[in-house]
Amino acid sequence: MINPTYLAQRTRTSASWADAKSRVIKSYRDWLRAAPEIQSMYTMNMPVPRIRTKIRQEFEKNRMVKHLPTVDVLITHSHTEFQETMNFWKQLNHVMKYFRTEEEPTARLPPNFITGFLEGRN
Amino acid sequence: MPPVQRVIGVRVAGCVARRPVAFSQMRFSSNTPPTQGSDEAPGPKAGESSLARTESASEGMAKHQPNYHAALDFRTSTFSPVPKHVMDGSESDVSVPAAVTSGAPIDLQARTVRIYQQAKNAMQSGAWHGNHWLMDWDVLSKGHRWENPLIGWQSTADVMQGERMEFKSKEDAINFANKQGYEYFVQEPNERRFIPKAYANNFMYSPKKLKIVRTK
């Protein structure tokens, strides 16, 4: 009997939007529940609510998708990231990639044209 | 981060896009397409604009402004251009929103792409390069190229500077650019104009006085 890797998900497509919604919410809840463990596992120097905010941001980024197969792919990405994170296959820098815009002052767009012009971003 | 507009779990069927205007791209040809069987020179005629716009001036003004509050990802840097629109899957005129799932940097959706056909080499008569369409990335405004301070090598921060994609047809290239959320413009090829000539026409009889006497 070959057991699948811990947190592996069987490949499937969503039967309908309601099915996709329940899968998304289930994945979101898994992520939220795992946030303290992620903080301790990767010894991150940030409070757990900040990790949860980032999880929420990542899910909100794809809220407006109207194409159901794209939602399936995004759910698969979520499961993949979750497995890689919780199995400790990642390292701290891979997890901190999600926080680059907050941690790195140069990783941002200018707020308006004049600021960008004065910075020399052309 | 734009504010959340709805409660989690509520999905309106046929939801409107978050932005007040529809998904926008620069869609214009740099030349009007040549008419078939015309004896006139190809390209824009007198009094005719060479840019065939499909939107009004106010619409264009609204759509083509850079969006300084667009989504960022971990590859955004001081070299990143400001995008006009970042694909978020809510566009109705895109069949597959590939930019959402591809994992490609957001910067690519900020950069303009040129779809063109390679011109025939004037020194040779081979025209095979005119049978496919190419997609080329416009040059970055900053970080395109600088001289390495140590040796003097040419350095670049442009990931796509050597990248060129080939397509069998113009529509394939346009569909790809649409799917990936690229801003694109199509550069129509310069059709060669051939005037059929016959030597016998120099000796054709004309009842009226000849304007140009081709024989002496």
What would the pLDDT profile of B172-202 be if each residue is shown by its tens digit? 999 999 999 999 999 999 988 999 999 998 8
Q: Indicate if the pLDDT at residue A113 is higher than 60.
A: yes
Domain B58-192 top-level CATH class? alpha beta
Q: Which two tokens stand for residue B116?
A: 């063109």
Q: List the structure tokens of A62.
A: 């794809």
Give pLDDT < 50 ranges for chain B.
Answer: 1-38, 50-51
pLDDT at A6 over 70: yes
Q: Which residue of B has its CA nearest to A93?
A: B74
Question: A120 CA to chain B: closest CA distance, Å?
Answer: 8
Which tokens is B43 given?
Answer: 């390209």
* Domain edges within chain A: 17-118
The mean pLDDT value for A41-46 works out to 96
Contacts of A11 (CB under 8 A, 6+ apart): A76
Maximal C-alpha separation, chain A: 64
- The pLDDT of residue B49 is 53
If residue B186 lies in a helix (H) or strand (E), which one and from where to where?
A: strand B183-187
pLDDT at res. B186: 97
Residues of A in contact with B141 (CB under 8 A): 121-122
Mean pLDDT, chain A, rounded, equals 94
Q: Report the SS3 class of residue B59.
A: helix
pLDDT reported for residue B7 = 38
Q: Please give the pLDDT value at position B161.
A: 92
Which pLDDT value is given to residue B42?
Answer: 54
Tell me the sheet residues that pair with B166.
B134
Q: Give dist(CA A106, CA B4) in Å, integer.
A: 26
Strands B164-167 and B133-137: antiparallel
For chain A positions 24-83, those within 8 Å of chain B (CB to CB) are 25, 57, 60-67, 69-70, 73-74, 77
